[in-house]
Amino acid sequence: MALAAKKLYTPEEYLAMEQAADHKSEYFQGEIFAMAGGTANHSMITGNCIAELNFALKAKPCRVFESNMRLLVERNGLYTYPAVMVVCGKVEFAPKRNDTITNPTLIVEVLSPATREYDRVKKFALYKRIDALREYLLVDSEQVHATHFRRADVSAPWTIEMYEEPSTLLDLDSVGGSISLAQIYAKVDLDAK
């Protein structure tokens, strides 16, 4: 018995379906993938990151976007919704869109058990194709742990640092600010299951 061919969609079809959908989906190479809902910890950490980044960057020409703003990685066609994005300077949108950014300087993803490996490996490989991207911060939702990837410019190699001490201050050189690991995890109940 032959398997049915997988239905592939154009970016235009995906965007039309996404506009009418009651949930968010990623799009890559013709396929659409439903995004899982988050936990209380995921939501708290995301909110804390947004608040801390907004405070740290209030005098900078940077804008902080939460997960309702879509990202298009133009060089590989990935459409997705990072937990947090920061754009410094002029915000660039996908052609004919005002809901899809193409030039984040910093992306923050909050890791969950279901997405941990995808965000660390496959998604980062796709994000690295964004010329404007200088920093990628992964924040664990089950323990105090952050993985910080950064590069000085598009031709520089990526470096990696990992943090587990709540007193750590993360220097976000690309956006000219810093945030504390303690504030990222403020009011987060890591013992809750």
List pLDDT tens digits, range 23-43. 899 999 999 998 877 889 999
pLDDT > 90: percent of the chain: 85
pLDDT at 116: 87
pLDDT at 134: 98
Of the given ranges (3-12, 84-93, 135-144, 169-178), which has the lowest mean pLDDT?
3-12
Catalogue the long-range contacts made by 32-40 (C-beta closer than 8 Å, 24 or more residues apart).
35/81, 36/112, 36/114, 36/115, 38/110, 38/112, 39/112, 39/141, 40/189, 40/192
pLDDT at 3: 64
Indicate left, alpha or beta for 96 from its phi (over 0: left) and psi (-120 to 50: alpha).
left
Domain membership flag for residue 28: no
Is the pTM for the entire model greater than 0.75? yes
pLDDT at 193: 58
Range of the domain at 118: 38-184
Q: What is the mean pLDDT of the chain?
A: 94
Number of domains in the chain: 1
Q: How far apart are the first and last CA of the chain?
A: 43
Domain membership flag for residue 191: no
182 pLDDT above the threshold of 80: yes
Domain membership flag for residue 12: no
pLDDT at 1: 55
pLDDT at 4: 64
192 pLDDT above the threshold of 80: no
Domain membership flag for residue 29: no
Average the pLDDT over 127-156 and give the result. Answer: 96
Distance CA 99, CA 40 (A): 26
61 pLDDT above the threshold of 60: yes
148 pLDDT above the threshold of 90: yes
pLDDT at 174: 94
Distance CA 106, CA 118 (A): 18
Domain membership flag for residue 1: no
Distance CA 62, CA 58 (A): 8
Give me the CATH number covering residue 107. 3.90.1570.10
**Positive or negative: CA dihedral 96, 129, 108, 151:** negative
Total count of residues recorded for the chain: 193
Per DSSP bridges, beta strands 31-34 and 25-28 are antiparallel
Domain membership flag for residue 93: yes
Average the pLDDT over 144-167 and give the result. Answer: 96
Domain membership flag for residue 165: yes
Domain membership flag for residue 125: yes
Dihedral over alpha carbons 17, 24, 133, 106 (to 10 degrees)? 150
CA-wise closest residue to 103 among 91, 121, 111 = 91
151 pLDDT above the threshold of 70: yes
